[in-house]
Amino acid sequence: MYFDAVRSFREKFHVEPEVVSFAPGRVNLIGEHTDYNDGFVFPAAIDRGVWVAMSRCDGSSELWSEEAGGPVRFTSDSLTPGSVTGWGAYPAGVAWSLSDAGTVPDVRAVVLSDLPTGSGLSSSAAIELAFACSWNSLEGFGIPPQELALKCQRAENGFVGMACGVMDQTASALGRRGHALLLDTRSLETDYRPLPEGVSIVVCHTGKSRELAGSKYNERRAECTEAARLLGIPSLREATPNLLAENSQSLPGVILRRALHVVTENQRCLEFAKALGSGDLRHLGDLMSESQMNLRNNYEVSCIELDSMVEAAVRSEGCIGARMTGAGFGGACVALVRTGSVPAFLSDTEARYRAEVPGFEPSFLVTEAADGARTVTDLTFRQEFLGNSGQTISKPPSDMERD
Ligand code: GLA
């Protein structure tokens, strides 16, 4: 897709892009709705994502998306939250957020994606990181990946108006091939854990796109803040099962259930990392099932379609475990599947899901844990996408006809 991005840029603007960047989507293996509670998460970047080809320009910025259209126009130095809406709010928000690092130039850019949107694979974080990497490299800001992730989160919180945590941006920025990332969202400490050989990640999309995700998400976040306030602690990270038991009579029922999910999910996330290390696949599966149960009953972010997909997946051949991934309210679940059984798993799961939930079109993506966001001058990137030619490609050659 690198060449598609270059070609598309050239067709649109009749000049060469100065920089091309890629940022991946992510799946979260476990640790759901814990990142905005200072908790633990365990995502992996995947081998699908968003490409951005970009050049500086005079006058206002002009952005096009192959999928979502355009043009989106804005002037970098006069951005205020709410001044750009739709998909353009993500890159505009990044320009707004990066402006404390220096002057963010206006640009022409095209965006290409091979991430299914609305599936909970974080296409928004991938767009943000792809733009952030491009501006970072164009202007030589030298912002390290973790800080770039925080700036992208700030773009989403302060400009787009989505009160997300830092998981998606961190996974997209810091992903590592073959590894999941155990992230402590309070200290921002990261710990890469290798995924077992012979286990594949399968994303099972319900066909139901995420509804009300923004408003319900912000509502859940407010409920957690309220839980921490009533418990007299800075965040639910400080809560323990004992503290919840002691306060179970005084806390409103809904608040107690939200807190129960968060507290136990943090424990599950750490246990999951341990079980991964010791190769205890059965325990991994049990933890994923418990996570799903809590997300359904206590946190109430699942739905019939997600529950049915998880149920279909865990009953299918080769499945180690499955649960919804991302914010919920539609979208996809993630399943860990024995690699040799993937074809049987796909047909079993699809047949079960279709029988249970008629009227929705499920889709499946077999993916791998992959590296994080980067620009075209990066060495690993060159080797992966362009072959190990040993040439530094800071500007794409002008006569590229092929992929
Ligand atoms: C969305 C948010 C993340 C995280 C998940 C739920 O993906 O962007 O920050 O809160 O939902 O775990």
pTM: 0.92
Which residue numbers are catalytic? 168
Residues facing residue 323 across a β-bridge: 334
Sheet with 190-194, edge to edge strand ranges: 40-41, 179-184, 190-194
pLDDT(399) > 50: no
> Residue 214's pLDDT band (boundaries 50, 70, 90)?
low
Q: Angle of helix 89-98 relative to helix 145-154, nearest 10 degrees?
A: 120
Element (H, E) at 335: strand 332-338
- Higher-confidence residue: 51 or 216? 51
Strand 332-338 to strand 319-324: parallel, antiparallel, or no bridges (unpaired)?
antiparallel
pLDDT of residue 212: 56
**Residue showing tokens 């129960």:** 260
pLDDT of residue 119: 74
Cβ of 36 closer than 6 Å to ligand 1, yes or no, is yes
- Higher-confidence residue: 392 or 101? 101
Give CA–CA dist 20/373, Å, rounded: 11
The residue whose CA has the least distance to atom 1 of ligand 1 is 327
Cβ of 265 closer than 6 Å to ligand 1, yes or no, is no
Give CA–CA dist 210/169, Å, rounded: 19
The least confident of 16-20, 207-211, 312-316 is: 207-211
Taking the centre of ligand 1 as the mean of its atom positions, its distance from the CA of residue 86, in whole angstroms, is 19
Beta strands (DSSP E) in 33-148 are: 40-41, 43-56, 61-65, 69-74, 107-113
Mutate to test the pocket of ligand 1, among 167, 218, 224, 294 (most ligand atoms within 8 A of CB): 167
Contact predicate 263/241, CB 8 Å: yes
What does the block give as tokens for 279? 């190769």
Q: Which residue from 70, 69, 78, 74 is spatially nearest to 107, judged by alpha carbons?
A: 74
pLDDT(36) > 60: yes
Cβ of 43 closer than 6 Å to ligand 1, yes or no, is no
The least confident of 115-129, 140-154, 158-172, 178-192 is: 115-129
Q: What is the mean pLDDT of residues 169-191?
A: 98
Q: 112 φ, ψ to 5°?
A: -125, 145
Taking the centre of ligand 1 as the mean of its atom positions, its distance from the CA of residue 270, in whole angstroms, is 18
**3-state DSSP assignment of residue 390:** coil
Q: What is the mean pLDDT of residues 184-193?
A: 98
Give CA–CA dist 382/326, Å, rounded: 30
Q: 8 φ, ψ to 5°?
A: -65, -40
Contact predicate 375/20, CB 8 Å: yes
Cβ of 33 closer than 6 Å to ligand 1, yes or no, is yes
**3-state DSSP assignment of residue 190:** strand
pLDDT(35) > 70: yes
- CA 346 vs CA 203, 284, 288, 363, 384: distances in Å: 10, 20, 19, 9, 28
Q: What is the mean pLDDT of residues 52-58?
A: 96
The residue whose CA has the least distance to atom 2 of ligand 1 is 164
Taking the centre of ligand 1 as the mean of its atom positions, its distance from the CA of residue 221, in whole angstroms, is 10
Cβ of 167 closer than 6 Å to ligand 1, yes or no, is yes
The residue whose CA has the least distance to atom 9 of ligand 1 is 165
Q: What is the mean pLDDT of residues 338-361?
A: 97
Taking the centre of ligand 1 as the mean of its atom positions, its distance from the CA of residue 366, in whole angstroms, is 21
The residue whose CA has the least distance to atom 8 of ligand 1 is 164
Cβ of 168 closer than 6 Å to ligand 1, yes or no, is yes
Q: What is the mean pLDDT of residues 220-227?
A: 97
Q: Which residue from 157, 77, 169, 162 is spatially nearest to 132, judged by alpha carbons?
A: 169
Cβ of 324 closer than 6 Å to ligand 1, yes or no, is no
Q: Which residue from 3, 10, 23 is spatially nearest to 386, judged by alpha carbons?
A: 3
pLDDT of residue 213: 60
- CA count, 13 A, side-chain hemisphere, 33: 33
